[in-house]
Structure 1
């Protein structure tokens, strides 16, 4: 009889411990995850864009200075590259952009190669999205000191008299007068730097001749 009572007592103790564990898990641990998710959502609303990730809990992202402006003039802030995050999607009302951060970091490096007095724009052409009018793009271009995403690669040659573009990512570097200083497809950063340095040297020589 005593053995039976001891057995029942052990079962009751184990059940109580299990109950306490699950109660703690549901109240504390789950709330902790919810708070973490809430912080991510709050950050997303702060940059006025919804950042979509496969598993938000897996990523620790920090907002950086990378700035894109889409064809409608909406400003998009991009997150810094980290060991896990390879790309992000920026969800818009009329389109979805997938931006590879390696390219953005390369662009940031490229800007340093230009003279500080020169306002330049880097245009990334990607995806197939309903065409936008040339004058909208040029209005944004004049105001811009940073990046533009052009979302209609088929019509880019109409804007800038370029040959037909067959690639998803195409880069143009323009000066403050909208002159194309460099164009490249799936570019190599070092080659681009050399081309830009040559351009700057050419311009310096021309100024000396004048």
Structure 2
């Protein structure tokens, strides 16, 4: 919604009003990803949303100094760490939790000291998930682009690595989130195959569907996909 607003300038759609409407229509959480160039959600938006969001507030981002300062100030329910540099269009890879173990452990310790639940964006790789547990995160967020891309070709094969990864995470007592390219076509099957997922973050597809179906109806349709 912020991307749409920024494309035209002004404050239409109003992202704070939209977030409140999403909650009113049944959304169980609001996710924002403030990038340094503020090309969609802006830092001021995050502060404004923090004042009014009543459901879970999740702030995604690369944990540079500005992100850490913002998250510590807002103290959202969850901070989701993504490894993308400022110049990428959208998150396109998960953390190497082995290579970056020392850095992640330090960042996660800072966030947990503030009472913030932590999640890190990862590929469905069992060793990477074991590494995630070792650095002290509360949850992982499975990067689901590969699942979404291959879903139409062979949905069972597409989900296989994710089922195995989620099983490892569950054994390690990690919470399991998922996100990226999930939509009304592929979401229900993922939930059916990994019924113990804690949450999914869906942005672009939901906005696109809302153009045709209306925002309230779209949110209800997504919730229905998760009740399998």
Shared fold (TM-score, shorter chain, > 0.5) = no
Structure with bigger strand share is: 1
> Normalising by structure 2, what TM-score?
0.27
Q: TM-score, normalised by structure 1?
A: 0.28
Bigger Rg over Cα: 1
